Amino acid sequence: MAGTEKQKQSLYFPDETLREIMKEAVRLDRSLSWTVQQAWRVAREQVRNFPSADRRRDAAPELVVSPMREPQASGQGGVDLDRRRPSAQVREFLRGKFDRELTG
- Tell me what pLDDT residue 46 has: 94
- In 3-98, where does DSSP find H-type helix? 15-28, 32-48, 88-94
Q: Where are the domains of the chain?
A: 15-48
Task: State the amino acid at position 77 in one-letter form.
Answer: G
**For the whole model, what pTM was predicted?**
0.48
Say if residues 91 and 97 touch (Cβ distance below 8 Å). Answer: no
Q: Please give the Cα distance from 47 to 44 (Å, whole number).
A: 5
Q: Is residue 71 predicted with pLDDT exceeding 90?
A: no
Q: Is residue 53 predicted with pLDDT exceeding 80?
A: yes
Helix (H) or strand (E) holding 26: helix 15-28
Q: Is residue 34 predicted with pLDDT exceeding 70?
A: yes
Phi, psi of 26 (to 5 degrees): -65, -45
